[in-house]
């Protein structure tokens, strides 16, 4: 499993409280922490925290790839299902990693 810099920098209680507040305010959104893989050569991502719709409708020729705990979930999976299966103890979907 890849280590999360975000988790190292933010205490568990603060992360959990923030996730609960976000889920109450935006019940149709999933709180996602997205970090670049350390050895990746893609440009640095300017933000780490995202609110992703529980259902994302894309045309057939479009795709979003999110790795969670070094696993690429099935492409037909709903974000809400990925969240329920992989959410962290603090209530966020983390770490989600980007590599290129």
Give the integer Cα–Cα distance in Å for 13 and 69.
21
8 Å CB contact between 53 and 29: yes
Strand 49-53 vs strand 29-36: parallel, antiparallel, or unpaired?
antiparallel
Average pLDDT of the segment spanning 39-65: 81
> Does residue 28 have a pLDDT over 60?
yes
CATH of domain 5-98: 3.10.20.90
pTM above 0.85, yes or no: no
Per-residue pLDDT reduced to its tens digit, 59-82: 888 777 778 877 888 877 888 888
Q: Where are the domains of the chain?
A: 5-98
Per-residue pLDDT reduced to its tens digit, 7-25: 889 999 999 999 999 999 9
């Amino acid at each position: 499993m890849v280590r999360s810099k975000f988790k190292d920098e933010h205490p568990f209680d603060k992360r959990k409280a923030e996730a609960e507040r976000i889920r109450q305010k935006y019940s149709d959104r999933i709180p996602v922490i997205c970090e670049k893989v350390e050895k990746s050569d893609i440009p640095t991502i300017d933000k780490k925290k995202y609110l992703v719709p529980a259902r994302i409708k894309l045309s057939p020729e479009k795709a979003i790839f999110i790795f969670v705990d070094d696993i690429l979930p099935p492409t037909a999976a709903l974000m809400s299902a990925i969240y329920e299966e992989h959410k962290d103890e603090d209530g966020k979907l983390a770490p989600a990693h980007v590599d290129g």
